[in-house]
Structure 1
Amino acid sequence: MNTLNSQAKTIDLSQFSSQQLKEALIRIENKKNEERETYKKLVAETIPKALLKLQKTSEMISNVKTETFQLFETILDLKNQVYGFKEKQMSHTFSNEKEEITIGYRINEGWDDTVTIGIEKVQNYISSLSTSKETASLVKIVFNLLKKDAKGNLKGSRVLELQKLTKEFNNEEFTDGVEIIASSFKPVRSSWFIEASLINENGTRTNIPLSMSSVDFLHGYAFNFFSQQNQHTNAA
């Protein structure tokens, strides 16, 4: 019975002329270049195919997003009329026994460069206080409110708490610092979003995977309900 030799054969290069070896190296190099060119050609051919599908999907998501907001735009207007109250919230949730949909927008908190001046003024005053029992708790509260998040920013919700404390301290420097911080707050509305979920018999919600935040509405459509709502509120 014949057996295969598992060991690789050693090639004696001395059997080949220098020209033969050179030609062999050229063939290997050419094959490598051909394979690389084939790869690049495949990439170039695949990108348009994938991009066309992605573009169609993006257009479909944009259509669905626009239609969903249009569906609830009338409902929101009716809600205000029926209940006689204009809400200031950034989102609205609608649900029945089996389904739930939330539409709205998110806010990115931002600050201008004067916020650091306000913080320093507040910190200077707080640092000058004696550490008596009467002031120790307030000092601790202020320093906690001035703590920054992982991105190095203050939390916008803390400004209101600082403003409340101006009455407690009744100090011109502290009040001025808080006012500077408040006026430097520049929130920016980010993307409009839709969240949807199914509700089972036990009341457990299962989210429907959606990623519509980065997709804009159809050209020419603007969801102005919240803007009109804020205008009415400011006018009042």
Structure 2
Amino acid sequence: MTEERKAVEMTDEELKQFEAFKEEQAARKAKEQAKRDREAYKELVDETIEGAIPLLHDLSQGIKETKLAILNDFRSVINMKAEVLKLKKDGQRTDTFTNSAGDKRITVGYYETDGYRDTVEDGIAIVKEYIEGLADNKKTKALVKMVLRLLARNAQGTLKASRIVQLRKIAEESEDERFMEGVQIIEEAYQPAISKQFIRAEVKNDNGAWIAIPLGMTEA
């Protein structure tokens, strides 16, 4: 059955109104389609996240358990290393072990963050007392500015140990006993904390170069 087409005569005004009506309908349909697309997108995001999170959780737990097992295994190795080689275990942050063939090695260790006991505040007070008592001239103003910069805390509210080393040099150059006493109290208050333990595994490639085994989500 053939659809019958009929011609409709319109005035310019009627044609203008009809075109506006069609545009309005098209805009409404586009808006409705865009809304459906957004809803479909949100549903896809939710569905994908719900599927990925359990997998990533299992992966994270697996990495945690594997890391703990390896660290425990190497703890025995580190203890034997200290006994056999008559080494002091204190203060060493990393240990590297290479196999007999020389083509595989593992490094285990930990990172430290700077930390201080409460007595650090006494040392800081003594240092500030010293610099506040200096004569007011161009040379001492520069010294005061430098010392205050070295005593500035980081975003975590902690003094940087590397800056205290610089402060020690300034105190020694000043030859002022009170200044050096304050710096010594700060140094003695230093109490670093272990932040994270790490494992690095490497193998040699055909060219004899060490290649790290990717162990993180970024490196894999």
1:201–1:42 Cα change, 3 Å: closer
Q: Equivalent residues in 2 for 1:1-236 (5 A)?
A: 14=16, 16=18, 20-88=22-90, 89-96=92-99, 97-110=102-115, 114=121, 117=125, 119-121=127-129, 123=131, 146=150, 154-157=159-162, 159=164, 170-183=175-188, 185-200=190-205, 204-211=209-216
Q: Deviations over 1:55-84 (max 9, x none)?
A: 121122112211211221211122222233
1:95–1:127 Cα change, 3 Å: farther
In the TM superposition, residue 178 of structure 1 has moved relative to its aligned partner by 0.4
In the TM superposition, residue 46 of structure 1 has moved relative to its aligned partner by 0.5
CA separation in 2, counterparts of 1:77 and 1:209?
Answer: 27
CA separation in 2, counterparts of 1:120 and 1:149?
Answer: 14
**Which has the greater radius of gyration?**
2
| Conservation of the 8 A alpha-carbon contact between 2:154 and 2:160 | no
1:128–1:105 Cα change, 3 Å: farther
Task: Give 2:11's aligned residue.
Answer: none
Which region of structure 1 is more displaced relative to structure 2, 102-111 or 47-56? Answer: 102-111
Query: Which protein has greater RCO, CA pairs closer than 8 Å, 6+ apart?
Result: 1
CA separation in 2, counterparts of 1:27 and 1:36?
Answer: 14
1:80–1:183 Cα change, 3 Å: closer
| Conservation of the 8 A alpha-carbon contact between 2:97 and 2:106 | yes
In the TM superposition, residue 128 of structure 1 has moved relative to its aligned partner by 8.4
| Conservation of the 8 A alpha-carbon contact between 1:101 and 1:197 | yes
| Conservation of the 8 A alpha-carbon contact between 2:204 and 2:210 | yes
| Conservation of the 8 A alpha-carbon contact between 1:125 and 1:174 | no
Look up the equivalent residue of 1:32 and give its one-letter code: A
| Conservation of the 8 A alpha-carbon contact between 1:166 and 1:175 | yes
Percent identity over paired residues: 31
Look up the equivalent residue of 2:39 and give its one-letter code: E
1:117–1:31 Cα change, 3 Å: same
Taking only aligned residues, the RMSD between alpha carbons, in angstroms, comes to: 4.0
Task: Give 2:9's aligned residue.
Answer: none
Give the 3-state SS of the residue equivalent to 2:112 in structure 1: strand
Unaligned runs of 5+ in 2: 1-13
Give the 3-state SS of the residue equivalent to 1:195 in structure 2: strand
Unaligned runs of 5+ in 1: 1-11, 132-138, 213-236
In the TM superposition, residue 155 of structure 1 has moved relative to its aligned partner by 3.8
If the length of structure 1 is used for normalisation, what is the TM-score?
0.62
Give the count of matched residue pairs: 190
Give the 3-state SS of the residue equivalent to 2:78 in structure 1: helix
| Conservation of the 8 A alpha-carbon contact between 2:124 and 2:151 | no
Q: Deviations over 1:103-126 (max 9, x none)?
A: 111011245783754553565578
CA separation in 2, counterparts of 1:127 and 1:110?
Answer: 33
